[in-house]
Structure 1
Amino acid sequence: MIRLQQRSLYRFLADPFGRSTRALELDGNYIRTTRRGEVVSISLQSLATAPFIRKGMLGTALTISSSEYNDVTLKGAGHRDAHVFSKRVKDAWNRFNLAALEKEAARLDRVLAEVMSLAAPSRYPAACQIAPLLEQARALNESLLSKLNAEVIGRETVARIAPVRKFAGDPRTLRANGIAAFVTAELDRWKDFFDTIETKPLTPEQRLSVVVDEDATLVLAGAGSGKTSVITAKAAYLIKAGIRQPKEVLLLAFAKNAAEEMSKRVEARSGVPIVARTFNAIAYDIIGIVEGSKPALADHATDDMAFTNLIKQILKDLVDRLSDVSMAIIRWFAHFLVEPNSEWDFKTKHDFYTHMEAQDLRTLQGEKVKSYEELQIANWLYENGVEYEYEPVYEHKIPETGRRDYQPDFRLTESGIYIEHFGVRHQKMADGSERLVTAPFVDRDEYLAGMEWKRQVHAEYKTTLIETYSYERQERRLLEGLAEKLAPHVNLKPRPVETIYDRIVELNQVDEFSKLLGTFLRKFKSGGYSLQDCETKSDRMKLGKRARAFLDVFAPVFEEYQKRLEGRIDFEDMILRAAHYAETGRYDSPFRHILVDEFQDISQSRARLVKALKAQHPDVRVFAVGDDWQSIFRFAGSDIHLMRHFGQEFGGSFDGETDVHRSVDLGRTFRSIDQIAFAARTFVLRNPAQIQKLIVPAGTATEPAIRIVTVSKGEDKAKLAEVLAAMSAVVAQVVKPATVLLLGRYRFVEPDLRDLRRRFPRLKISFKTIHASKGLEADHVILLNADSGRTGFPSEIVDDPLLSMVSPEEEAFQNAEERRVMYVAMTRARHTLTILASKARPSSFVTELKKDPVYGIAALPGMELEEHGCGECGGRLLGVRGKDGRIWYRCEHVQHCGNLLPACQSCGAALPRRTDGTAEVQCGCGATYPTCPECEDGWLIERSGSYGRFLGCVRYPTCVGKAKISSGDRSAITKPRRQNRA
C-alpha cells in the first residue's frame, strides 16, 4: 500500500476548512480517499486514463479520472511524491488490465472471430443477428479494451484487438461491407438456382430480393414485375440454403385461392412443401390452439355482399324501432349525405359547378338542385310534408324584358307561395355598418339587382314571396328561420320516418351509404378505435357537423352489429384475438421467417398480428412483397400508411437506429410496353406520397398505345362496338386471337358480353371491375365510363373524408386511392389502352391525361368536335349535334351555366372566337362577326324587332347585347365577311 497526502502548508493556506481531498491510498486494485467524511473506493477497472499531474505554486495536483465517480483531485502534494504515486497507480492499472485481458481472452477471441467473419459472412448480417455482437463488442471495449495502455500490451496485441474496437466505434460501415460481400458471393453461389427456379431466369432485381435477409425487407413489386416468382423463390431458398426448416416459414396471402396457388407453385418449382395460409386461417388456427376449439364464424365474414346487406338491414331495423336513432339516420340522408360546401368555398364558377355535379345533389323528392342550401330547403319541405315544385315557370307571363322566363327556386303547390333562396352574406364594413356580399365569382351588383327585380315582380303580381339567405345558414338558423316564415301560410304534416326511409331506398342512396358504414366499421374495429378517438380526430381535422351526424348513425349501427354477432366472430375479431394471444405469450410461435404477399393490402389488425409474431423471437424476419401504387382496398380495411412507413412499423434496431429495413425495387415489368408503363408511372406519382419506383417496360410501342374516345349521350354501345371493330380488323391479320379486357369502376357498367362475343369472334372479350382485375392482364384493355360524378371515376364515395377518422394517416392528396385504382386499370394492358369517356362529363383523370403532353395520349382525327373555354364560367364549351343536325356548342355545366352558342353561320361546324385587340370574333373558316358588347362568348347577328332590323347577340335571350346596323355596312353585317386568303 502506498499513500499520497497534502503538504501541511497547502492545507493551512489553501484549504483551512478541509474541503478538498487530503490523501489518496493505493490498496491492491483500489484507490481510496475520504471525501466529506465518506471513504470512497475507486477500482482500477474504472480508471479511464493513468493519473494526471499538474505542478502549481503551492504544490502538485494529481487527478484520478474514473467512470464510477467525478474526477478526484488531490492538491498541494509534493512533486516527487505525486510522481511516485502516479507511477505506482499506472503500474498497478497496467497489471490489472493485462490480467483482465488474460481473463477475458476467451470472450475476446469469440467476439473477434465474429467481427472478422463480417468480411465474408456465411449468412446475411441482419441487424437482429449483429446487434448482440455489437453489444458484446462495445461492452468489452468500454470495460477493458479502451483502457489498455498500448505501450504495455505491445503492438501485436493492439493490432489484434483493433478490429473489435473499430467495429464498436463504426459498426454500420462494417455491417454494410459485410452485406455487400455476402450478397455478391451468394448471388454467384446460387446462380443455377435463380436460372431454373422459374420458367425464365430471375432478373437481377429479383435475385437480389431473394438473398437480402434484413430484419424487415420490403420488395417493391410494380404491376407485372413478377412478385409471385420472388416470393416463391424466397421460400425455396430459405429451405434449400438451410436457413430455416419448413415449419419455421410462414407464408401469408390475403385470398384463399392465392394461398392455394402459392403453395402449389412453391412445391412444384422447388420441391419444398410449404403451405401458404391466409391471415384469417393462421389467426383461426392460433385461436384454436390457445382456446382448444375454434369459435363459430359469422355468416357474412366471407361474403362482402352479405356484410353490406347486414348493414342495410340494421339501418332499416333501427329506423323501425328506435325514434332517436331513426331521426339521426333521416337527418344524415336529408342534410349530410354529401359534403356541405357552398359557393362561398370556391373561387371560380367552374370549380363550384364541378364540385356540385360530382356531389349529385338529389333531393328526397328526386330532383337535382343547384346548391347545398337549396338541398337543405327542399329536404326540409319534403320531411315536413309540404308539397313543392322546384324551379317552376312563374305563373304570370312577364312582358318582354330580355330575360329568360322567370323560374323561382320553389313554389309550394297548396298555398301558391314562392321561396327564393339568395346567395348573400353579411360583411361588416370599417365604419361598423353591414352590407350584403356575394360569393367570390358572382357579380355583386348584378346579383343584388336581380334580387330587387324578383321582389318587384312578386309585388306587382301580388304573389307571396318568402326569402331565405346564405347568411342564415352561416348563422345556423336557415331551417329554423324558414319554419318561422312559413308558419302563417302552411300547416306542416311531417312524414313518418318509415316513409322517408323508403323514399331514400328508392333513390338508391342506402346502398352506397351502407358500403361507407361497412368500410368505416371494419377500419374502426381493426384499428382498435373508440368513438371518443373518432370525435377527437374529427375536431382536430375540422370535419364539422357532417362527421358528428355520421357518428350519430354509426354508433347505434356498430352496437347493433356487435349484438348480431351473437358470440360468433368476424375477421376483425379473429385477427385481433390471435394478435392478443401472440402478444401475451399464450401462443408460442414456431415461425422465424414471415413472408407476406400483396403487402399493400395489409390492415392495422393484420399488421398487429405480424408484429406480435415477430416479437416472439429476436431473430424473426419479415419479408413483404407489394406495390403501394396498387393499394386499392381501403374499403376492406387496408392501410397504405403501413407500407409507406414500413421501416418504422416492422424494422429492427441497430446502433441506435430503430427502423432498420431494406427495400428492393423490382423495376422491370413483363407486361406493359413503354408508352403504357411510363404513362401509368407518371400518373400515379402525381401523388408525392407514393413511393418512387423505377420502371423498365416490357417493350417499345410502334404506334400510339393509349387512346381516349369521347362518347356522346346514348352512344356508349355504338362507340364500344366501333372500338372493338377496329381491334378485330387488326387481329384478323394474325393467327392468334387477341384478349380484350373491359374494365369498369362499378359492375353496373358491364355490357352485354354474349352479344359482343358473337359480333367479334376474333376477340376473347371479358369484363371485370377494376378491383377484381388485380393480377390479370390482356393484350388490349378498354376502360368504360370514365365519367365524372358521385358514382363515376374517380368515385366521389371511396375517398370520403370521414374515413380519415379511422385512419392513422390522412391522405391529403385529392382522390389518392382512386388514382391508384386508375393505375391498376392502366397496367392491365400489354399493348393498347382505350378509355371511353363522356364528352359532356369526362372524368378529371381523362382531362388530365388529355391535357398533359407528357402522357403521349393519341389524338384521333375526326373523332370529336373541338373544345373551347366557356367565357361565362370557365368550363368547357363542347360541340354537340342537335336533333335538326345543326352543331351547337354547349357548356359542360349544363345544369348550372347553360351557356349555349350556335356554330358559325358560314361553315356550320366551327365556333367563332374573339380575336385579341379587335372588335370582331373570327371563325376558323374565315368568317368574322362583331363582338357582343355584353358577354364574353357571344357575337352579333342580324335580327328583326318591333322597330326594324338590328344586331343582337346569338345567345339571346340569355344575353340581350345589341347594336344598331350602320346603313353603310348593312351588307357586311347580314352576311359574315370572309377574309381573303392568299
Structure 2
Amino acid sequence: MLGTALTVRSDRAEYLTLKGANHQAAHQFSERIKEAWSRFNLAALEKEAAHLDRIRAEVMLLAAPLRYPAACQIAPLLDDARALDASLLSKLNAEAIGPEAVERIAPVRKFAAEPRALRANGIAVFVASELDRWKEFFDTIESKPLTPEQRLSVVVDEDATLVLAGAGSGKTSVITAKAAYLVTAGIRQPEEILLLAFAKNAAEEMSERVEARSGVPIVARTFHAIAYDIIGIVEGSKPALAEHATDDMAFTNLIKQILKDLVHQLSAVSRAIIQFFAHFLVEPKTEWDFQTKHDFYTHLETQDLRTLQGERVKSYEELQIANWLYENGVEYEYEPVYEHKIAETGRRDYQPDFRLIESGIYIEHFGVRRQKMADGSERLITAPFVDRDEYLAGMDWKRQVHAEHDTTLIETYSYERQEGRLLTGLAEKLAPHVTLKPRPVDTIYDRIVELKQVDDFSKLLGTFLRKFKSGGYSLQDCETKSEQMKLGKRARAFLDVFAPVFEEYQKRLGGRIDFEDMILRAAHYAETGRYKSPFRHILVDEFQDISQSRARLVKALKAQHPDVRVFAVGDDWQSIFRFAGSDIHLMRHFGREFGGSFDGEASVHRTVDLGRTFRSVDQIAFAARTFVLRNPAQIDKKIVPAGTATEPAIRVVTVSKGEDEVKLNEVLASLSAAVPPEDKPATVLLLGRYRFIEPDMPDLRRRFRRLKISFKTIHASKGLEADHVILLNADSGRTGFPSEIVDDPLLSLVSPEEEAFQNAEERRVMYVAMTRARHTLTILASNARPSSFVTELRKDPAYGISTAPGAEPEAHACGECGGRLLGVTGKDGRIWYRCEHVQHCGNLLPTCASCGTALPRHVDGTSEVRCGCGASYPTCPECEDGWLVERSGPYGRFLGCVRYPSCVGKAQISSSRRNAPSARTGR
C-alpha cells in the first residue's frame, strides 16, 4: 500500500535505497540490474580469459609437475595468480558468473590462498614419479646402484639444495650423477652447468668421472680457475699471476723483505715495527687475567716470553721491562744470584729480577695492584691465585735484605702498568742512577732477526694479509672489530705495522695479481654485470670449506638469473680449514645465505642427508658420530655403517716415554700377522696432527711387507681411506692433539666468528681421523699425558673403546698449581712425580718409600697421606702435596716435608711414628 523499497549494494559495500517505488517497477528494475551485473562479471572474466587459462594450466600442472617445482619457478606464477585474484577473481560474484565459471577459477584462487601446500604436494608427486622414471639411470650411472638418499639428492632441485655427505657416503657419486642427470634429462645444456671444486686434482678427477659415467663433457673447475676466466673475459686478457702466489716460502720472504726495507727507511713506520717486536709480539696477558695457577702456566707455555737480549722471562710485565732496558742501551742480568750470601732461611738462593751491570742497581717487579677500600684508603692486592699475605711478606723480606746489605733496589708494580705508566715510571726511577743510550732502530731489528722472531711474525703478517684481502676487509673494519673484542693496544700496534706493509705489498704486485685478487675481482665483475654468466646450475663440492669471498662469487653468479640453482655437497663434521678462511657458518646458515623466497618465506632451501657410510664398520662410524655431536652446533645426521665389527674396532694403546717406536712396531706386527698369505697387503694409514710426527717410513715398509703403509697429516688425509688407521701422538701439550697452539688473537680481526664450543674445530679434525678407517682404528697415546680426546673416548662407555687392562693411568692433581703430576724416571733410576708445568711450578714428589712406585695422596677428612700399598704418613703442615718423613739434622731426628727445600714444613717425631719409613733423600 505504501510502495516498495529497492536497495542496491555497491562494490564498496555502500547501500543505495529507493523508497516508495511501484512494486512491479521495482521488481523489473531489480531483475535488469542482476542481468547487467551478470553480463558485467562474465565480460570481465572473458577479458582475462587467456591470462586466466594460462595461470590455471600452470597451477593444474602442479598436481603432476614435469619439472621440480622450485621456489624460483613457482614464485612468478604465485605473483600472477595473486595479482589476478586481487584485481578480478575475488570480486566476481558466484551467483552472477554461474557454477561452471566458479569451477574454472577455483584452482587459481586455491593456489593464491594455499600456495605452500600445493607446492609441497607437487614436489612429493614429482620426486616419486622422477625416481621411478630414472630408476635404470640411477642403477647404472656408478659402478654400484645409488642409494635411496643419493637418488633423492639428484632429483631434488630447489633454489638451493644442501647435501649432507658424511665421511664415505659417496658425495662424488652424487655430484657425478647430478651433472649427468641435468643434461640427460634435458634440464640444462653442459655449458649451463658450473662444477666447482677446491683443489685442482679434485676438479680434474670430477671432470673425468662425469664424462666417463655419462658421456657428457662438463669441465669441473676450481674457484680460482673460474675467477681467472671471468677476469680474462671482462678485461680481454688475464693478468700475470704473482710469482709468490703459489709459493708460500717466497710469499713469507717477500713480507720479511718489506719489513726490513721499512725499518731501514728509519721512518715512523720503523719505530712502530720495533715497538711491536719489543712490547706486543706476545699476547699481553698477566697473572691477573687468570683464576688459577694452572690456567696461567698453561697460557705461559703457549707464549715465547723471550726478550730482545735472548733470555726467557716469567711474565709479560718482566718482558716489557727487559725490552725497555735493551732498547735504551742499559746492560742488565736477568735473575742473577744476589751478590751477598743470605743467612740460612730455608729459602732458595735469593735471585732479584734484574741487576743493572754498570750501576749495580737491582730491580724487583712486584705483582701487586691497588684496591680502594670503603673508607677511602688503599691496600695492595695480589692475583686471584696468589696468597696475598705470603706475597707481601716476601716483598718486605726483599726490602729488608737490600737495606741490610746497603744495595739499591728499584721497585716496579703491576698497578703501574694498569695505570699506563710502568715504563715511564721506571725511566723516572732510574734517571738519577743510569744514563740511557738508546740503540739505533736498525741495530735492534738486526737483533730481532738474530732471534728468529721475524720469521714467525712474517708468517703472522702474511696470514693476516691473505685473510684481509680474501675477506674484503678494510682497516676500519679491523679497528672496529678490535674495539668490540677489546684487543686493546696490541691490535692498534699491529695495525700500525700492517697498514704500511700492506700498502707496500700492493705496490710490489705491480700489474700482477694474487689468488685473493682473483676471487674478489671476479665477484665484483659478476655483481656489477660486467660479466654475463651462462650458468644456471652451480654445483659445489666440499662445501664445508667455502670462505666468505668464494661465497660472494657464488651469490653473484646466482643473482644474474632468477632461475639459477645452487647445489652444495659437504659435511660440516669435516670443516677443518678455518685457518685458510673457511667459514662453517655459511653451511650452518645455508638457507639464509643461498636460499630463495616463496609466499613471504625467505631462506627457502632443501637439505638431503645421505645418511650412510660406505667406509667404516659400525663401531667406528657410531663412535665418530657420537664424538663430533658432543658439539651441539654440528648438524645432526643419521649414519648407516658399512658393516658390523666382530671384534673391538677402536683401541687405545698407551705409550711410555721413549716407547713410541716400539709400540708402533707392535701394532703393525699385530696387523701384519692377521693378513692371510694369499690375500693382498692390507692398507695402513698412519696419521699425525703435524708433519714432524712422521716415522721412518722406508724402514717400516721394509719390515712389514704384508702391509701397504703410508703417512699423512690428518688435514691432508681428507678423502682417503684405509683398512686400518693408526693415530700417532694423541697426547696433551702444545703440539699434541687437540693442538694447543692457539691462533694469534689478532687473526680474529680477519677471521670468521669463532665457535663457542671448546676445541670445536679440533674435534672435527679428530672425526676426520677416525673416519679414514674401514676396519680398525688404533690410537697411540702417552701413558702420562693422554690428550683430553683420548680421556673422553676411554671414560665414556658410549664409545666402546678397547683399552689394555691397567693401561688407564691414575690422574694426580698438583696441589701447588692445579696441573697434573706426571710420573718421570730420574737419573737415579727412581720414579718421581713432577708437575706438568715444570718450568713454572717446580713441584716434585718422590714415590712412596715403602713400594717405590706409587704416589701417596691425602685422605679426605684426616691428617694422613696414604699410599695404595698401605703405607701412611703424616701430612705436611705447610703445603698441599707433601708428607712428612723422618730426617736427621744438627739437633737430632725430626719429621720434614719430602718436598724440601721447596717446602720447609716440619714436625716433631711422636712416639707413634718412631718406626715410620725414613726419607730416601735421592735429590
Q: Which residue of 2 aligns with 1:739?
A: 683
Structure 1 residues 223 and 499: alpha-carbon distance in aligned structure 2, compared to 1, 3 A threshold: farther
Unaligned runs of 5+ in 1: 1-54, 977-982
SS of residue matched to 2:914: helix
| Alignment partners' CA distance in 1, 2:423 and 2:630 | 42
- 2:604 partner amino acid: V
Q: Which residue of 1 aligns with 2:492?
A: 548
Structure 1 residues 350 and 798: alpha-carbon distance in aligned structure 2, compared to 1, 3 A threshold: closer
Task: Tell me whether 1:574 sits opposite 2:574 in the alignment.
Answer: no
- 1:544 partner amino acid: G
| Alignment partners' CA distance in 2, 1:762 and 1:392 | 60
Q: Of 632, 638, 642, which residue of structure 2 is paired with 1:698?
A: 642
| Alignment partners' CA distance in 2, 1:224 and 1:368 | 48
Q: Which residue of 2 aligns with 1:369?
A: 313
Superposition deviation, residue 631 in structure 1: 2.3
Q: Which residue of 2 aligns with 1:331?
A: 275
Equivalent positions of 1:849-928 (< 5 A) are: 849-850=793-794, 852-861=796-805, 863=807, 865-928=809-872
Task: Tell me whether 1:801 sits opposite 2:763 in the alignment.
Answer: no
- 1:444 partner amino acid: R
SS of residue matched to 2:365: strand
Task: Tell me whether 1:201 sits opposite 2:201 in the alignment.
Answer: no
Superposition deviation, residue 168 in structure 1: 0.7
Superposition deviation, residue 507 in structure 1: 4.2
Contact 1:575 1:605 in 2 (8 A): yes
Contact 2:722 2:773 in 1 (8 A): yes
Contact 2:850 2:917 in 1 (8 A): no
Q: Which residue of 1 aligns with 2:581?
A: 637
Task: Tell me whether 1:461 sits opposite 2:405 in the alignment.
Answer: yes
Superposition deviation, residue 712 in structure 1: 5.6
CA deviation vs aligned residue, 1:735-765 (integer Å, no higher than 9, x gap)? 4323332333333333332233334333333
Task: Tell me whether 1:397 sits opposite 2:341 in the alignment.
Answer: yes
Q: Which residue of 2 aligns with 1:515?
A: 459
The alignment of Structure 1 onto Structure 2 pairs a total of residues equal to 914
- 1:647 partner amino acid: G
Superposition deviation, residue 373 in structure 1: 1.9
CA deviation vs aligned residue, 1:748-791 (integer Å, no higher than 9, x gap)? 33333223333433333322233222212223333344455555
Identity fraction in percent: 85
Q: Of 424, 427, 433, which residue of structure 2 is paired with 1:489?
A: 433
| Alignment partners' CA distance in 2, 1:436 and 1:257 | 64
Contact 1:438 1:444 in 2 (8 A): yes
SS of residue matched to 1:868: coil
Superposition deviation, residue 73 in structure 1: 7.2
Equivalent positions of 1:681-760 (< 5 A) are: 681-709=625-653, 716-731=660-675, 735-760=679-704
- 2:250 partner amino acid: A
Superposition deviation, residue 480 in structure 1: 2.0
| Alignment partners' CA distance in 1, 2:652 and 2:445 | 41
Q: Which residue of 1 aligns with 2:356?
A: 412
Contact 2:41 2:97 in 1 (8 A): no
Task: Tell me whether 1:824 sits opposite 2:736 in the alignment.
Answer: no
Q: Which residue of 1 aligns with 2:228?
A: 284
| Alignment partners' CA distance in 1, 2:817 and 2:169 | 45
Q: Which residue of 2 aligns with 1:155?
A: 99
Task: Tell me whether 1:591 sits opposite 2:535 in the alignment.
Answer: yes
Contact 2:879 2:903 in 1 (8 A): yes
Contact 1:635 1:798 in 2 (8 A): no
Q: Of 183, 204, 227, which residue of structure 1 is paired with 2:127?
A: 183
Contact 1:385 1:495 in 2 (8 A): yes
SS of residue matched to 1:873: coil
* Structure 1 range deviating more: 887-896 or 835-844: 835-844
Superposition deviation, residue 346 in structure 1: 1.6
Structure 1 residues 809 and 968: alpha-carbon distance in aligned structure 2, compared to 1, 3 A threshold: closer
Q: Of 163, 183, 192, which residue of structure 2 is paired with 1:219?
A: 163
Q: Of 121, 136, 144, which residue of structure 2 is paired with 1:192?
A: 136
* Structure 1 range deviating more: 350-359 or 380-389: 380-389
Structure 1 residues 327 and 758: alpha-carbon distance in aligned structure 2, compared to 1, 3 A threshold: farther
Superposition deviation, residue 214 in structure 1: 0.5
TM-score of the superposed pair, with normalisation by structure 2: 0.92
- 1:584 partner amino acid: T
Structure 1 residues 625 and 867: alpha-carbon distance in aligned structure 2, compared to 1, 3 A threshold: same
* Structure 1 range deviating more: 940-949 or 796-805: 796-805
TM-score of the superposed pair, with normalisation by structure 1: 0.87
* Structure 1 range deviating more: 798-807 or 336-345: 798-807
- 2:289 partner amino acid: D
Contact 1:740 1:779 in 2 (8 A): yes
- 2:290 partner amino acid: F
Structure 1 residues 478 and 349: alpha-carbon distance in aligned structure 2, compared to 1, 3 A threshold: same
Task: Tell me whether 1:470 sits opposite 2:393 in the alignment.
Answer: no
Q: Which residue of 2 aligns with 1:122?
A: 66
Q: Which residue of 1 aligns with 2:544?
A: 600
| Alignment partners' CA distance in 2, 1:950 and 1:239 | 92
Superposition deviation, residue 605 in structure 1: 2.2
Q: Of 960, 967, 979, which residue of structure 1 is paired with 2:904?
A: 960
Q: Of 284, 291, 305, which residue of structure 2 is paired with 1:347?
A: 291
SS of residue matched to 1:971: coil
| Alignment partners' CA distance in 2, 1:729 and 1:465 | 70
Q: Of 259, 275, 281, which residue of structure 1 is paired with 2:203?
A: 259
| Alignment partners' CA distance in 2, 1:155 and 1:708 | 77
Q: Which residue of 2 aligns with 1:52?
A: none
Unaligned runs of 5+ in 2: none
Q: Which residue of 1 aligns with 2:608?
A: 664
SS of residue matched to 2:607: strand
- 1:342 partner amino acid: T
- 2:262 partner amino acid: L
- 2:886 partner amino acid: E
Task: Tell me whether 1:441 sits opposite 2:385 in the alignment.
Answer: yes
Superposition deviation, residue 558 in structure 1: 1.0
Contact 1:867 1:879 in 2 (8 A): no
- 1:452 partner amino acid: D
CA deviation vs aligned residue, 1:306-340 (integer Å, no higher than 9, x gap)? 33332233223323334322332232233223322
* Structure 1 range deviating more: 859-868 or 117-126: 859-868
* Structure 1 range deviating more: 667-676 or 940-949: 667-676
- 2:67 partner amino acid: R
- 1:540 partner amino acid: Q
CA deviation vs aligned residue, 1:593-641 (integer Å, no higher than 9, x gap)? 1111111222222222212221221111111111222222333332223
Q: Of 541, 549, 565, which residue of structure 1 is paired with 2:509?
A: 565
Superposition deviation, residue 930 in structure 1: 1.4
Q: Which residue of 2 aligns with 1:299?
A: 243
